[in-house]
């Protein structure tokens, strides 16, 4: 069986062993769907992994867009990271309170902004807590650190690029939403949004990628899941979802498997499904 790439994910044991290392920075990037009725920042303030700073994907976003948590400008991202004490030379570990949900979005944002030394905590806060590891309610006082943002547009796709790809089929769109939403038989959680999927897309629901403890399945199992969905590696892949969050989980899983040419459709279904000039398959 292939070995997991520890440059992309780390175990709870690894983090516990390295938590006091001077170059390690821990980031809580928890976020919840509006319907969940949960306050991620309040939960972070009540308990978090010691030393973790809070990464708010709604705040660290493009404030000029009417779409949720779109990528911010590089200068805004760099400014927010400096204030969080995250910068050049840091090894960043990102987690969330769902296990692995929004942490992958923050991880991908770091990748897009040119900071590749970042990993996701496999199993996240639930696994950390289940193992009885230390928690804190003390807010860290980060020391500002220089962060160099180098935007890599190759890792991002926009509406026009996805629209053009319907005819060219140069890239395979992989949709991370639940099967009912992908097929158009279940309604979308956001009001006014059409149901269905981008023509030519295939479906890899994120729930299929995890074991019962919230950690990723083995690489062999992940490979089989993608093979069964028609993701062969012959084409570059663009991942999509409801609003660009869970698409990053599929992106992460594919990168773990060694796939090249990966990108995320940032607007995802929040953009595609809200328009009346975008084709939809059901």
**Pair of tokens at residue 192:** 């006014």
Given 241, 247, 250, 252, the catalytic residue: 241
CA distance 280 to 229: 19
Q: Please, what's the largest Cα pairwise distance for the chain?
A: 53
**Pair of tokens at residue 250:** 């599929």
CA distance 161 to 102: 24
- 135: Cβ contacts below 8 Å, ≥ 6 apart: 47, 48, 49, 50, 128, 129
248 is catalytic: no
CA distance 159 to 162: 5
**Pair of tokens at residue 146:** 């220089």
CA distance 114 to 269: 26
Question: How do strand 118-121 and strand 237-240 relate by DSSP bridges?
Answer: unpaired
User: What is the set of active-site residues?
Assistant: 241
């Amino acid at each position: 069986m292939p070995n997991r790439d520890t440059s992309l994910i780390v175990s709870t044991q690894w983090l516990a062993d390295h938590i006091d290392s001077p170059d390690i920075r821990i980031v809580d990037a928890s976020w919840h769907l509006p319907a969940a009725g949960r306050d991620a920042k309040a939960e972070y303030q009540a308990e978090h992994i010691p030393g973790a700073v809070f990464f708010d994907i709604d705040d660290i976003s493009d404030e000029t867009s009417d779409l949720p948590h779109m990528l911010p400008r590089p200068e805004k991202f760099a400014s927010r990271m400096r204030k969080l004490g995250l910068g050049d030379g840091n090894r960043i570990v990102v987690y969330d309170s769902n296990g692995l949900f929004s942490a992958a979005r923050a991880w991908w944002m770091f990748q897009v902004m040119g900071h590749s030394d970042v990993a996701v905590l496999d199993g996240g806060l639930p696994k950390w807590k289940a193992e009885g590891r230390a928690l804190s309610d003390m807010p860290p006082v980060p020391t500002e650190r220089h962060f160099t943002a180098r935007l890599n547009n190759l890792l991002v796709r926009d509406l026009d690029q996805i629209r053009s790809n319907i005819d060219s089929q140069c890239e395979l769109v992989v949709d991370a939403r639940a099967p009912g939403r992908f097929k158009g038989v279940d309604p979308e959680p956001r009001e006014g949004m059409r149901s269905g999927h981008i023509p030519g897309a295939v479906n890899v629901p994120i729930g299929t990628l995890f074991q019962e403890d919230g950690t990723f399945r083995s690489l062999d199992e992940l490979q089989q899941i993608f093979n069964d969905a028609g993701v062969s590696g012959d084409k570059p892949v663009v991942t999509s979802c409801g609003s660009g969050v869970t698409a990053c989980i599929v992106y992460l899983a594919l990168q773990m498997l060694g796939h090249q040419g990966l990108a995320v459709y940032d607007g995802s279904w929040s953009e595609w499904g809200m328009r009346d000039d975008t084709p939809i398959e059901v």
